[in-house]
Amino acid sequence: MLTAIKETASYIIEKIYETPDTAIILGTGLGKIVDHLRVDVVVNYEDIPHFPVSTVEGHEGKLISGLLGNKRVLVMQGRFHYYEGYTMQQVIFPIRVMKLLGIKTLVVSNAAGGMNPDFEIGDIMIINDHICLMPNPLLGKHDPEFGARFPDMSQTYDPVLLQKARDLSKKLHIPIREGCYVGVTGPTLETPKEYQYMRIVGGDAVGMSTVPEAIAAHQMGISIFAASVITDLGVPGKIQKLTHNDVIEAAEKTAPKLTELIIHLITDR
């Protein structure tokens, strides 16, 4: 696997020439940030050696290098999920590559179901912790090049970036929530009792991504900021039948606010 990761990193470096220190993974319905980029290079995932390919609607499957304000960034327009049939090693493969590229900060977004009764559809929740209810991506043979075998996870999400997001929320008048994200395998959406269980154990929102990437990035010393758009509610009395198109539509309505927050988070430093 390490050989493949190094080959992929070498290919990407040759394409983008200048290595950014910040990477962004765009979740469902949140691809509009690319409209604010001064794009230099676009590479289709299918053209990148060893790279998985996005199969989910709303995930474009492009790696984009460019300037966001005065900051050079690498954007993944589309991510990979365990439920697509990929192994966890494939899901976190791009994160391993990012480390070799010199990425120091990772910004991740996703669409999530809200379980906190104070949440409403369209809310932005910054993630301050997670609960992993999917296979841990660090299972298997350990390679010291990626970091500790038993990484401490007490501060997975960078406290400095979290505080900056809180400050920006007030400055930009963009309301935010804050809470714990529960990562599940999917692809089924949750039953009412599953929502109830995850709320009891401490979850505020639930989704099918982000946690594997966060674990891998944290192990390798990459600072992480993650945010969810609440696209549906898993609250008793508010649970409604849902489709993937509903999720995309709800995420796109909130995308401009989250985009503005992320742009300032990256460029105001």
Highest mean pLDDT among 54-68, 78-92, 209-223: 209-223
| C-alpha–C-alpha distance, residues 26 and 108, integer Å | 6
Parallel, antiparallel, or unpaired: how do β-strands 71-77 and 105-114 relate?
unpaired
Spell out the SS3 assignment of 184-204. Answer: ECCCCCCCHHHHHHHHHCCCC
Span 2-267 CATH architecture = 3-Layer(aba) Sandwich (3.40)
Counting every residue, how long is the chain? Answer: 269
Where do the domains of the chain lie? 2-267
Q: What pLDDT does residue 32 have?
A: 79
Is residue 227 within 8 A of residue 261, CB to CB? The reply is yes
How large is the C-alpha radius of gyration of the chain?
17
Region 135-156: mean pLDDT is 96
Phi, then psi, of 260 in degrees rounded to 5? -60, -45
Parallel, antiparallel, or unpaired: how do β-strands 205-207 and 105-114 relate?
antiparallel
pLDDT single digits (tens) 158-182: 999 999 999 999 999 999 999 999 9
249 pLDDT more than 90: no
**Nearest residue to 77 (alpha-carbon basis) of 113, 47, 33:** 33
pTM exceeds 0.85 for this model: yes
Segment among 2-6, 41-45, 58-62, 104-108 with least mean pLDDT: 58-62
